[in-house]
């Protein structure tokens, strides 16, 4: 969600504060989100892991958690939270799952 978070969502201070309140983020998730949105040029995943004294995979899990919480809140409040632009990898998996659903429908019925 690093530069990806910043580029996927048009963050403003108001949107950021509302998201932090509504999503019930952990302290680490708040730190990661703040670093990636507002201090994007200073922090990489590895530097955040070192600064926050956690592993790289923990940072990646936080990013994934933030992403899923944002998507959930977008579904609940589509007028409040703009749609997140998907990454190429996410679009690729969506296409694969759509093909799998079509194949399953074809086989089953």
pLDDT of residue 27: 95
pTM comes to 0.72
pLDDT of residue 72: 93
pLDDT of residue 97: 57
pLDDT of residue 83: 84
Low-confidence ranges of the chain (pLDDT < 70): 1-7, 86-109
The class of domain 2-84 in CATH terms is: mainly alpha
Q: Are 75 and 86 within 8 A, CB to CB?
A: no
Contacts 24+ apart (CB under 8 A), 57-62: 58/28, 59/32, 62/26, 62/28, 62/29, 62/32
């Amino acid at each position: 969600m690093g530069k990806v978070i910043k580029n996927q969502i048009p963050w403003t201070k108001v949107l950021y504060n509302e998201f932090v309140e509504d999503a019930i983020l952990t302290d680490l998730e708040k730190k990661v989100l703040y670093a990636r949105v507002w201090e994007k040029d200073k922090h990489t995943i590895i530097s955040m892991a070192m600064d926050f004294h956690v592993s790289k995979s923990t940072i990646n899990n936080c990013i994934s958690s933030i992403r899923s919480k944002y998507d959930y809140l977008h579904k609940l409040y589509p007028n409040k939270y703009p749609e997140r632009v998907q990454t190429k990898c996410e679009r690729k998996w969506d296409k694969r799952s759509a093909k799998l659903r079509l194949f399953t429908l074809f086989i089953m019925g």
